[in-house]
Amino acid sequence: MATRKKNDAPPAKDAQPFADLMQQMAHLPQISPAALVELQTDYLRQATALWNASLGQGEAPAATDRRFAAPEWRSNPAAHFMSQLYLLNGRTLGRMAEQVEADDKTKARIKFAVQQFVDAASPSNFLALNPEAQKLALDSHGETLARGLQQLWGDVQRGHVSQTDESAFEVGKNVATTAGSVVFENDLFQLIEYAPLTPQVHARPFLLVPPCINKFYILDLQPENSLIRYAVEQGHRTFVVSWRNPDDSLGHKTWDDYVEDGVMAAIDVVQNITGAEQINALGFCVGGTILSNALAVLAARGDEPVASATFLTTLIDFTDTGILDVFIDENFVKFREMQMGKGGLMKGQDLASTFSFLRPNDLVWNYVVGNYLKGETPPPFDLLYWNSDSTNLPGPFYAWYLRNFYLENNLVQPGKLTVCGEKMDLANLTLPVYIYGSREDHIVPINAAYASTQVLPGKKRFVMGASGHIAGVINPPAKGKRSHWIRADGKLPATLDQWLEGATEYPGSWWTDWSGWLKGHAGKQVAAPKAYGKGARFKAIEPAPGRYVKQKA
β-pairing, 525-527 with 200-202?
antiparallel
For residue 95, the 8-state DSSP code is H
Residues 6+ apart with CB under 8 A from 347: 392, 553
| Number of Cβ atoms within 10 Å of the Cβ of 516 | 10
CA Rg value for the chain: 27
Cα angle value 457/277/304 (rounded, 5°): 25
Question: Which of 97, 276, 285, 444 is flagged as catalytic?
Answer: 285
Alpha helices in 275-326 (DSSP H): 286-300
**Per-position b or e across 54-73, b if 16+ CB within 10 A of its CB:** beeeeebbebebebbebebb
| DSSP bridge pairs for 519 | none
| Count of Cβ atoms closer than 10 Å to residue 299 Cβ | 20
CB 553, CB 392: distance < 8 Å:
yes
Active site residue 285: yes
Measured distance CA(243)–CA(348) in Å, rounded: 14
Cβ burial of 507 (10 Å; 0-12, 13-18, 19+) is exposed
Of 293, 279, 268, residue with least CA distance to 518:
279
Catalytic residue numbers read 285
